[in-house]
């Protein structure tokens, strides 16, 4: 039971209900330029070998290696230079024994040539070259397929595509890749008191922090975010906005209007379609979740810290599941707590903290309106439900907010 005898849902049970309700998005084939950070939806197998043809690893001369055996500066080998091959040149004629051809790095090695002598081992002659050092067989020839063979696995399904994977796919000739696309997240703030940042305030008005806070959080979690801004505390207007947005959304996130107030617009508009209730956590107690026309809708509390924290704990795992990520929940690390504080038994408490080198220092107060303290924090100390007191020096669990996982 919660503060006022109302039943509360444990944090993990609420998270489980959310994760169960979402499924990975259908794959889409995207250009490589749009695939950074997305998850490969299928194995990609090389259709071409890499390198695609034998080519030179040095600027120098392609030769028959046997022609150069025993070459020294004192007793060099002299070979006539019969031409030049630059990178991008087409395959050339067979190299006759007893001749050399100039060749640039990356240019195709002519048939018959068995080594490349770098410029530094020669007199760089244009018509005749003097070779001062003997190459070993195959020297400076990069063989077709010595990097990747046709049929090799380039990336496996489930790989989070980083710059190196994308570089490999590009090098192997793949212009596009099948991925789980970025979820489209629509963010709506509610509250008649809200004004757009940059606009002057009238009496009792405040600037809308949440839609920027949550849209940025969505982008940081790999989603595309559409910030609708704020709507007033009028259920009809709110429902109209929701209906307008739903066709372009994979997820809808609202903030405000879900607790016990007289104008709790979100709850009033959606009480028959979503679950609303208290989750055993602080901050972030009043929550709502469900689907509307098959689209997951998260109705987060209005206090900015509560909204942000709820987003990290509940929306981010859903966005990760939609993106086909295997790890949904933020890992926790151990840290030493620099300062003691009390914690409500029966609720999981999330304390803003500044974390550095194994030490977590609680930042500011517990109030869930404290945006300044939130910006000063980079971690949350996660205090279990059964803990009433944390003392200075205790080992605590921390969630590092900017950590990639
Ligand atoms: N009688 C009770 N009152 C409240 C309870 C309760 O259990 N009983 N719970 C409190 C808790 S905890 C929270 S969290 C808030 C959640 O309230 P709502 O989700 O209904 O949010 P609002 O009332 O609309 O706003 C709360 C607070 O946050 C400010 N706010 C809202 N939206 C934004 C925004 N986009 N940018 C910046 N600030 C925003 C709003 O002005 C209010 O100050 O309810 C408590 N009350
Ligand atoms: O959920 Mo409220 O989050 O404690 O301010």
Of the residues 303, 306, 308, which should be mutated to test ligand 1's pocket, given the most ligand atoms within 8 Å of the CB?
303
Structural domains in the chain, sorted by start = 8-25+181-322 (3.40.980.10), 29-49+160-180 (no CATH), 55-142 (2.170.190.11), 332-400 (2.40.340.10)
38, 375 Cβ separation under 8 angstroms: no
Q: Taking residues 185-205, report their average pLDDT.
A: 96
Beta strands in 327-402 (DSSP E): 333-337, 341-342, 348-356, 359-362, 379-383, 389-390, 395-400
Nearest alpha carbon to residue 360 among 317, 330, 329, 390: 390
Name 275's bridge partners: 289
Instruction: For residues 142 and 106, give the distance between their C-alpha atoms in angstroms, rounded to a whole number.
Output: 9
Residue 224 has pLDDT above 90, yes or no: yes
- 4 CB neighbour count, 10 Å cutoff: 7
Nearest alpha carbon to residue 85 among 105, 64, 112: 105
Instruction: For residues 160 and 38, give the distance between their C-alpha atoms in angstroms, rounded to a whole number.
Output: 6
Question: What pLDDT does 263 receive?
Answer: 77
Of the residues 306, 313, 314, 348, which should be mutated to test ligand 2's pocket, given the most ligand atoms within 8 Å of the CB?
306
Q: What is the pLDDT of residues 350-376, one digit of tens each?
A: 999 999 999 999 998 889 999 999 999
Q: Report the SS3 class of residue 143.
A: coil
283 CA distance to ligand 1 centroid (A)?
11
Question: What pLDDT does 364 receive?
Answer: 86
Q: Taking residues 171-197, report their average pLDDT.
A: 97
Residue 146 has pLDDT above 70, yes or no: yes
Percent of the chain with pLDDT over 90: 93
Q: Taking residues 171-191, report their average pLDDT.
A: 97
Q: Taking residues 196-225, report their average pLDDT.
A: 97
Q: What is the pLDDT of residues 47-87, one digit of tens each?
A: 999 999 999 999 999 999 999 999 999 999 999 999 999 98
Residue 308 has pLDDT above 80, yes or no: yes
304 CA distance to ligand 2 centroid (A)?
9
Q: Is the dihedral of CA 288, 290, 293, 295 positive or negative?
A: positive
Cα-flanking dihedrals φ and ψ of residue 189, to 5°?
-90, 145
Omega before residue 135 within 30° of 0, cis: no
Question: What pLDDT does 3 receive?
Answer: 59
Question: What pLDDT does 260 receive?
Answer: 81
Omega before residue 326 within 30° of 0, cis: no
**Ligand 1 neighbourhood includes 189 CB (under 6 angstroms):** yes
Which letter does DSSP use for residue 312 in this model?
I
Instruction: For residues 69 and 61, give the distance between their C-alpha atoms in angstroms, rounded to a whole number.
Output: 15
Helix ranges, 95-254 (H)? 163-171, 210-220, 235-246
Nearest alpha carbon to residue 90 among 65, 110, 72, 75: 110
- Residues touching ligand 2 (Cβ under 6 Å) are 282-286, 301, 303, 306, 368
pTM of the model: 0.92
Q: Report the SS3 class of residue 282.
A: strand
Could you tell me the pLDDT band of residue 115, with boundaries at 50, 70 and 90? Answer: very high
Could you tell me the pLDDT band of residue 398, with boundaries at 50, 70 and 90? Answer: very high
Name 400's bridge partners: 379
Q: What is the pLDDT of residues 157-167, one digit of tens each?
A: 999 999 999 99
Minimum CA distance residue for ligand 2 atom 1: 284
Q: Among 1-5, 124-128, 316-320, 367-371, which stretch is predicted with the lowest mean pLDDT?
A: 1-5
Question: What pLDDT does 366 receive?
Answer: 83
Among the bound ligands, the one closest to the CA of 306: 2
134 CA distance to ligand 2 centroid (A)?
77
303 CA distance to ligand 1 centroid (A)?
5
**Across the chain, what does the average pLDDT equal?**
96
Question: What pLDDT does 7 receive?
Answer: 79
Q: What is the DSSP string of 251-280?
A: EEEEES--SS-TT-HHHHHHTTTSEEEEES
Question: Which H or E element spans position 306?
Answer: helix 304-310
For residue 137, what are the CA distances in angstroms to 68, 147, 285? 10, 19, 73
Residue 315 has pLDDT above 70, yes or no: yes
Residue 91 has pLDDT above 70, yes or no: no
């Amino acid at each position: 039971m919660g503060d006022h005898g109302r039943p509360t849902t444990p944090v993990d049970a609420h998270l489980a209900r959310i994760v169960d309700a979402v499924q990975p998005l259908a794959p889409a084939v995207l250009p490589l330029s749009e695939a950074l950070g997305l998850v490969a939806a299928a194995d990609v197998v090389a259709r071409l070998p890499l390198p695609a043809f034998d080519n030179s690893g040095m600027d120098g001369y392609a030769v028959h290696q046997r022609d150069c055996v025993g070459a020294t500066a004192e007793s060099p080998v002299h070979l006539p230079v019969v031409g030049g091959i630059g990178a991008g040149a087409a395959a050339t004629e067979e190299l006759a024994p007893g001749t050399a051809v100039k060749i640039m790095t990356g240019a195709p090695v002519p048939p018959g040539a068995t080594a490349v002598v770098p410029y530094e081992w020669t007199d760089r002659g244009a018509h005749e070259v003097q070779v001062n050092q003997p190459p070993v067989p195959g020297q400076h020839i990069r063989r077709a397929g010595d990097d990747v063979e046709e049929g090799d696995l380039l990336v496996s399904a489930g790989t989070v595509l980083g710059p190196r994977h994308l570089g490999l796919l590009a090098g192997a000739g793949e212009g596009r890749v099948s991925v789980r696309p970025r979820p489209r997240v629509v963010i709506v703030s509610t509250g008649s008191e809200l004004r757009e940042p940059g606009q002057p305030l009238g009496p009792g008005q405040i600037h809308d922090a949440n839609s920027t806070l949550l849209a940025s959080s969505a982008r940081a979690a790999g989603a595309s975010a559409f910030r609708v801004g704020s709507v007033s505390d009028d259920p009809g207007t709110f429902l109209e906005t929701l209906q307008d947005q739903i066709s372009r959304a994979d997820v809808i996130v609202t903030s405000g209007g879900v607790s016990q107030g007289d104008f709790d617009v979100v709850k009033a508009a959606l009480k028959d379609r979503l679950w609303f209730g208290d989750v055993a956590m602080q901050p972030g107690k009043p929550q709502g979740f469900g689907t509307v026309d098959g689209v997951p809708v998260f109705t987060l509390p209005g206090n900015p810290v509560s909204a942000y924290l709820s987003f990290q704990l509940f929306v981010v795992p859903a966005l990760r599941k939609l993106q086909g990520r295997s790890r949904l929940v933020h890992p926790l690390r151990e840290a030493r707590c620099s300062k003691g504080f009390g914690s409500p038994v029966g609720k999981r408490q999330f304390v803003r903290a500044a974390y550095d080198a194994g030490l977590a220092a609680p930042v500011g107060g517990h109030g869930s309106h404290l945006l300044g303290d939130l910006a000063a924090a980079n971690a949350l100390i996660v205090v279990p439900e059964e803990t009433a007191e944390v003392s200075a020096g205790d080992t605590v669990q921390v969630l590092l907010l900017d950590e990639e996982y």
